[in-house]
Amino acid sequence: MEASGISREEKIKKLIETAVSLIGRPYEYGAYLNPAADKKIAFDCSSFIQYIFGKVGMELPRSTILQAAAPGKEVSGKTGDEMMPGDVIFFEGNIGHYRHDLFPGRKIFVGHAGLFIGNNRIIHATNNVSVSGVVGQFLNELPAPPYNIVLIKRFF
């Protein structure tokens, strides 16, 4: 179901509603989407981001590093002061990838992604010591390291 032709605000609302509806789904590293079934039983962080953005008509790549490099507006600062609901936060994470060719002049290491929903909260698919699955958390609840913010992107 594509959500093209709707306003930015409506897309963000649908994006967040979709993310919230998936809270509680289990985590599975390397989980891939099954477009034929349009049902996702488990997610990892990048398949979660790919899935929810797909529900508002935006195709994003499968991996976090390629999502971070996808066209969009880079939000300045890493503190979150400039973030708006619907932004994607890319973190260092426990497992990550370098692709220096995608970020000329910078060394970017990305290993995790989450959707910022406002009020210092994100929804993401995680598998760390204290929590696993699709969850909502406050940014300050994330252990740093490994959850150091590397990049923030606004896709619409």
Domain residues of the chain, as ranges? 8-154
Q: What pLDDT sits at residue 138?
A: 93
The yes-or-no verdict on residue 37 having pLDDT over 60 is no
Which is more confidently placed, 34 or 2? 34
Tens digits of per-residue pLDDT, 121-153? 999 999 876 788 999 999 988 887 778 899 999
Q: What is the dihedral of CA 108, 50, 58, 84, to 10 degrees?
A: -60
Q: Comparing C-alpha atoms, which of 7, 5, 96 is closest to residue 46?
A: 96
Q: Are the C-beta atoms of residues 123 and 19 closer than 8 Å to each other?
A: yes
Tell me the whole-structure pTM to 2 decimals.
0.88
The domain made up of 8-154 is a member of CATH 3.90.1720.10: yes
The yes-or-no verdict on residue 1 having pLDDT over 50 is no
Q: Comparing C-alpha atoms, which of 143, 135, 130, 105 is closest to residue 45?
A: 135
